[in-house]
Amino acid sequence: MNWISKIKQFGENIKKNIKKKFPTAEEQEASKWRAQNCCNSGPVLEEELKENFYQCKNCNDTYPVTPEQRFSWMFLNNQYEILDHPIINNPETHEWEDASGKYTDKLKKTRKKTGLNSALVAAYGSLTENLKAVVVASDWRYFGSSISPDEGECLLYACEKSISTNSPLIIFVQGGGMRVNFPLTLSLNQMPRSIIGINEVKQKNLPVINVVDKIAAGGISASYCSTSDFLIFEGVKSRIMFAGPRVSANASNTTPPPNFLEASWALKHGIGDFLIEHRKDTKDTLVKLLNILLKIDTSVNSVSLDETSEPNLTAKEAS
């Protein structure tokens, strides 16, 4: 064996050891353990996270959840109707390719993995026996919940359903912004489209509530995330921003505080209305708020809403 063969063999041995040490994505998904990267307390059982609504018991950081999980928590008896919306399959808009591969290949793989045709999913159903709502949720695995024309159509159909059923609209907002590995102008067009759709709902005196789920950034934070009647944070570490802390630090040549852009920092600086610290309380808090806005049951005692609503506040006054 010459020295070249020895080097090749050495390299193969390193690859084998790395594979043994670091599990594949498939092995990680199949595992009953979840890597915990929030407070460095080590791996946690998937079952424990599930029991706590996928929120860390130590630091209350939230983990991304699927639309199916979100809907199961929100809708009464897990009964709801998924809203079908058009999917843009124009080959000319999918001819993007970068160093990591073709967009069409990535899209096909993502749709197979998630079982979805869009990062956003809208559903309609009963939150309680007396309260129906349209709820929009997203899947982080779908290009980081970024927005393309498909997601824009989902938002517009959710707005249309809200108006046609005279129901409030709840959007769980997360994502890194407009999808850049798509013709960017088409993605950017979804910003004014989503704003127009939400304004149509508000003009009908129907409440629109946005809940920042984990992170809302880029064009998402600059469009539909900021046009609701109420902007609520779910989890103390949920963040809203246009650019991230590193970009902000470089632009201002300063060191941002540890909680920069997180819920506590945002609320202190007048961004948003209030915080839902524990995800298990999200539905109950939203139902109480909607009961007040819609005067379904004005006798409820709202939690953490004293500064943002009054017993006789109507949806029109909140708009």
Give the bridge partners for 276, in sequence order: 234
Q: Taking residues 159-187, report their average pLDDT.
A: 90
Strands 131-138 and 120-128: antiparallel
Q: Taking residues 296-315, report their average pLDDT.
A: 45
The residue assigned the tokens 């307390």 is: 41
**pLDDT tens digits for range 94-126:** 777 777 888 889 999 999 999 999 999 999 999
> Does the pLDDT value for residue 305 go beyond 60?
no
148: number of Cβ within 10 Å:
28
Q: How far is CA 301 from CA 156, 287, 305, in A?
A: 33, 11, 9
Q: How far is CA 39 from CA 18, 62, 309, in A?
A: 25, 11, 34
**% the chain with pLDDT above 90:** 56
User: pLDDT grade, residue 301 (50/70/90)?
Assistant: very low
Residue 31: both structure tokens together: 């595992």
How far apart CA 280 and CA 51 sit, in angstroms, is: 10
Give the closest residue to 47 by CA, choosing from 60, 61, 57, 37: 57
Give the closest residue to 89 by CA, choosing from 75, 103, 100: 103
What is the pLDDT at residue 207?
97
Domains of the chain with CATH codes = 62-318 (3.90.226.10)
Q: Taking residues 252-260, report their average pLDDT.
A: 82
How far apart CA 55 and CA 76 sit, in angstroms, is: 22
Predicted TM-score (pTM) of this structure: 0.82
Bigger pLDDT: 116 vs 9: 116
- DSSP secondary-structure letter at 225? G
Most confident of 6-10, 85-89, 289-293: 289-293
What is the pLDDT at residue 316?
37
CB distance 172 to 70 below 8 Å:
yes
What is the pLDDT at residue 312?
37
How far apart CA 33 and CA 278 sit, in angstroms, is: 22
In angstroms and rounded to an integer, the radius of gyration of the C-alpha atoms of the chain is 22
CB distance 260 to 251 below 8 Å:
no
User: pLDDT grade, residue 296 (50/70/90)?
Assistant: confident
> Does the pLDDT value for residue 277 go beyond 50?
yes
Give the bridge partners for 232, in sequence order: 211, 274
Show the DSSP H helices in the chain as ranges.
Answer: 3-21, 25-30, 46-51, 67-74, 103-114, 149-164, 184-188, 190-203, 218-221, 245-252, 263-268, 282-293, 315-318
The residue assigned the tokens 């819609």 is: 294
Please name the residues in contact with 149: beta carbons below 8 A apart, sequence gap of 6 or more: 88, 93, 182, 186, 187, 189, 190
49: number of Cβ within 10 Å:
18
How far apart CA 102 and CA 95 sit, in angstroms, is: 7
Bigger pLDDT: 154 vs 309: 154
Bigger pLDDT: 266 vs 17: 266
Q: Taking residues 229-239, report their average pLDDT.
A: 94
Q: Taking residues 122-146, report their average pLDDT.
A: 96
Give the closest residue to 133 by CA, choosing from 84, 86, 77, 74: 74
Count of alpha carbons within 13 angstroms of residue 163, beta-carbon side: 14
CB distance 212 to 234 below 8 Å:
yes
- DSSP secondary-structure letter at 99? T
